[in-house]
Structure 1
Amino acid sequence: MADKYTEAQVEEIKNKILEALENVIDPELGIDIINLGLVYEIVFDDSGFTEIKMTLTTMGCPLADILTDQIHDSLKEVEEVTEIKVNLVWYPAWTVDKMSRYARIALGIR
């Protein structure tokens, strides 16, 4: 069976997913999960199945469900996405180094 999307199209879709995830704001910090460096990997296949591998700032973070719900809501905007799985991973552990320059400035971190 031939692939439904070319590699270039998959990259374009992943970029749309990334842009949608920039609308998922950590309620405690007020910054999106992309700039916080919480998203480690986006997997998208020809069926539209999308897996978001991400971490949280701390293990046992009470916001996991809220962020997962926001991810599901934001990815509804990406028409190619048909199924979403959010996979929380703890390795590598999140550190402030994973944050974008923008996020560090916004939070006053050098």
Structure 2
Amino acid sequence: MTPIEQQVWDALTAVIDPELGISIVDLGLIYEVEVDDQGFCSIKMSLTTPGCPLSSFLQNDIERAAKKVPAIRDARVQLVWYPVWSIARMSSKARRQLGIGGSLHDQQNR
């Protein structure tokens, strides 16, 4: 990961999922951040459910957050559905915020 890509990841932590009130980075929704030599940023993300009514809202917020990084001239978000999002992608902080206790193994085998 380049320093600029790390700056974008850091900027994306400020984007909060409007339904859950948790950072999209902590939720594990961001899969990949790539920045080319011209400052174009490509972000791959998923959603917790395919029919999320706020997906365009989130995409706009993500693009705005990425463009706040001085080296970024433009940013685009691509929705991806593989690998399928699961709670295993969430940070321990996000799981605590949602009150998900026990081990991840227990949660995934319910």
Corresponding residue to 2:67 among 52, 76, 96: 76
Q: Which residue of 1 aligns with 2:13?
A: 22
* Alpha-carbon offset, residue 72 of structure 1: 1.8
Question: What is the alpha-carbon distance in structure 2 between the residues aligned to residue 96 and residue 48 of structure 1?
Answer: 32
Identity %: 49
Q: What does 1:26-105 correspond to in 2, within 5 Å?
A: 26-105=17-96
Q: TM-score, normalised by structure 2?
A: 0.88
Q: TM-score, normalised by structure 1?
A: 0.88
* Alpha-carbon offset, residue 63 of structure 1: 1.2
Divergent runs of 4+, >4 A: none
Over the aligned positions, Cα root-mean-square deviation in angstroms equals 1.0
Structure 2 residue runs of 5 or longer lacking an equivalent are 102-110
Provide the aligned length of Structure 1 versus Structure 2: 101
